[in-house]
Every structure is written in C-alpha cells, then in structure tokens.
Amino acid sequence: MSVLRTLRKEFPSAQTALRHENAFQLLVATILSAQCTDERVNMVTGDLFRKYPAPADLALVPREELEKEIRSTGFYRMKAKNVIACCSMLVGRFGGIVPRNMDDLVNLPGVGRKTANVVLGQAFGIASGVVVDTHVHRLARLLGFTKEDTPEKIEADLMEIFPEKDWIELGTLLILHGRRTCKARKPDCPACPVNHLCPSSAV
C-alpha cells in the first residue's frame, strides 16, 4: 500500500528500538517495556543482561534484587515476578530456549500476543501477526485501516488488509511514525509524509 511504501522511505532501516543480542534478551526487554519507554528499558537492560546473561540466571535471582534492578521501568514488582516466572518456565519446559511459536510464547508468564509478535518478528523473522501497541492502535484508526478499538480486532483488520510478508515491518513502521511525527498529544500533520493519504489529516 502507498502508506507502507511511503513509511519505508521515511524509515529505511526500521527495527525495534529495544537493544538486544538474542531472543531471550528481546523477550525480557519487551516484558519490561510495558508502560515504559524503550529508552528507559535500554538503560536498565545493559547492566541487567551483563549480570544475568541467560534464563537460568534470571530464574534464580531473588525477587527483591530484581525489583531493585528494574525499578525505574515502573510496575517493577509485577514485572520482576513475571520475568522470574517466565525464565523459570523457559528453563524447565523449553531447556532455556525461547520458543518459536505463538502458542508456547503466550503461555509464558508476562507474555501476551503483542510481546510474542515482537519476539517472533524481530528475533526470528516469523510473521505471526502485527504488533499492536498504543501507537499502532492509534495510527491504524487515524489512517482508516480499522474502526475497531481492541488490539485483537485491530490486529485482525491489519492482517486482512496487508499481506503476511508486510506484517512485521508494518508494526515497526507505524510505531516509529507515531513516535516521530504522529504523536498522540500533538500530531505534526504538516510534516507528515502520509498526510495526503490520511483521512484524519488536519492539513
């Protein structure tokens, strides 16, 4: 579609802003990113992954200690509980390896469909669906791709409109566009490269 082609030119090397070296790191970083900026998560995970480089390491860390490590990401008690439980399940059920399918991933503590889509798409190149975060939720409606208001239904509409080969890239591009130009509080319509394609444009 024209929107996708235009955003590709705007972000030629689009990828997740969460720094990671493997699927395990991306999984933990994505869990920590809930209600938190990627920049803040990246500040935390650098030291975190040096201290605890594998699922077996995080599975055994005392919860209070992990809470201190990730406190600045917000909701740190629940996140610490989920990360430890998630890593314990990775070790106990999957031999410390992050699974490559949606069903197994969403059964991990703290992992929903959005997180699973991020891991499958960014770490493994598997197009299981479209990542729908707050930016994608907002932009998909503004651009007229959907009238739905739940992540699941929005994702279903996007998967119907766009071919499977574009699903991974689509979520990443919309997130980047939402952060740079189409911001929730003050969208910069005059500077928007897709304003001529957007039914909600103020230009």
Which sequence positions are flagged as catalytic? Answer: 114, 133
8 A C-beta contact, residue 98 and residue 86: no
Q: What sections of the chain are H helices per DSSP?
A: 2-10, 23-32, 38-51, 55-60, 63-70, 76-94, 102-106, 113-118, 124, 134-142, 151-161, 167-180
Q: Dihedral (C-alpha) 25, 109, 73, 91: value to the nearest 10 degrees?
A: -40
Q: Could you give the 3-state DSSP secondary structure of residue 203? A: coil
Both tokens of residue 31?
Answer: 């869990």
DSSP 167-188: HHHHHHHHHHHHHHTS-SSS--
Burial class for 21, CB neighbours closer than 10 Å (0-12, 13-18, 19+): exposed
Residues in CB range of 196: below 8 A, 6 or more apart: 203
